[in-house]
Amino acid sequence: MNSPARDAFAARLRQALDEAGYSGAQLKELAQIFEVTPQAVRKWLGGESLPSSTRIAEVASILGVRRSWLLDGELPARRTTTAVEETGKVYSKQEESIFSISGTEYRLLQNYRELPRHLKDAIETIINEVTESVKSQKPS
């Protein structure tokens, strides 16, 4: 018998799999990725069982989501730390800012990171030109 907690976990797991590009993956492929049996993956996706505490951390890491989000639904789903430099009286040094990104942004970033340098440079140029074009079209 499924519990609401296991069903909610299964839904978040399916979402994370989809966002990480594994939506069409077979149980056998997912089992290899997570180093478990296909039956274990089937039970997780069906809301029949949960991974062990050690395994859930590994699954979350592979999928690029926070363990607490995957297991309990605690937001944000992803944590990214970045240095933000502020100027003024209140801010005198770099501070770390934590923000979350959407699944689409995550997939785009993952794909971008796999590109060779010359393609990354081309994409950056395109984005900068589109951004400037949009800014110039906005009424002041």
* pLDDT tens track, the chain, 140 positions: 679 999 999 999 999 998 888 888 899 999 999 999 999 999 999 999 999 999 999 999 899 899 999 999 888 888 765 554 445 444 444 444 445 566 677 778 878 878 888 998 899 999 999 999 988 887 75
Report the SS3 class of residue 78.
Answer: coil
State the first-to-last Cα distance of the chain, in angstroms, to the nearest integer. 60
User: Among 1.10.260.40, 3.40.50.300, 3.30.70.260, 3.40.1550.10, what is the CATH number of 1-100?
Assistant: 1.10.260.40
Check if the beta carbon of residue 106 is closer than 8 Å to that of residue 77.
no
Helix 4-19 × helix 38-45 angle, to 10°: 110
Spell out the domain ranges in the chain: 1-100, 101-140
